[in-house]
Structure 1
């Protein structure tokens, strides 16, 4: 299979591991495996409608009662309601849903395999690397510029691949989320290590928002939304 994934370890056991990127390019082409189940596609479309409408209670009804929300102990509907008070949280959910997803392993699930969004969570790992310095370029022929803005020269183009940031920590990731499409991130070009800048609209942090959808035997539900390490 194109993506051999060990999703549970990837989502719940940081730090993530990836090869060094000095002269190596790691391709992460977009994929959406939700076509396997019509009911999953219907569920995700309904979820996207609820998120774009900022309908808190509709989203709550689409989650498990004990939904896992952070590695810091947050869980359940009350905590989710608090998180949904932040516009940036809504925006992160919407982007994660729109980016498609992949199925995980079935061993611990009796029914249909769990579905993970976005597809970026399918990255395999082989050697330690701080997840906060890893971003995935989510577009084709994305311009890399010599400085943070469209007035700077184009020094390269990247398509659906991993880049390392020279500005990485939890605060930086949160600031990028808050600034949205107006933010620019300093990156290291994978093929030659040259410094450049990419618009945040074309980058997704590996430690960004990840979601898991499970089928409980009757319907799909979200049982996990996490962001960070």
Structure 2
């Protein structure tokens, strides 16, 4: 099969999966037909089917597992932040997407999220994830890499309060895209013991403003926090 024919076969499988998801014929948790069945359905090679399935895995649409049992086969999932994170990370690594621009986009989305969270319909219990992460970061024995992981999860947890799934997904993907750069920068610069105390105080202030539903203050504090941190680290 020529390269162009292989590409058309690959695209046909992807379009079929997309149409099936859109129509509701396929839903989260459903299992795709096997390679042989899909190959026969489309009149293409099993290799073309495998290429299409790999593409869907990279996009976070399906998960494949070998063997037998309820978790085997190719199952429809939804993990868009992982797929977007991989794509962003690669483009950041290629220097096509400067870290500075990613940070500016993060500030825009996070300030928007915290401003809108002030009037969103969330309950006090929905702050529990952010509160647990805040308390976990108080551990003086945490390595900087673990702290920055908890830090990014804390910000994502707060952003979800605005109720916009797309913004939360983008926040998650951006943290994945640049976390390695942040860890490297923190290690190069040193002075972590002093910086971590400032970060904890800033996190507390942001959390308290969000809890009080003070959108203007929480947005201002998170902007100052992000700009200060990246000014120190990058």
Name the TM-score, length of structure 2 as normaliser.
0.26
Structure number with larger C-alpha Rg: 2
Name the TM-score, length of structure 1 as normaliser.
0.27
- The structure with the greater share of residues assigned to strand is 1
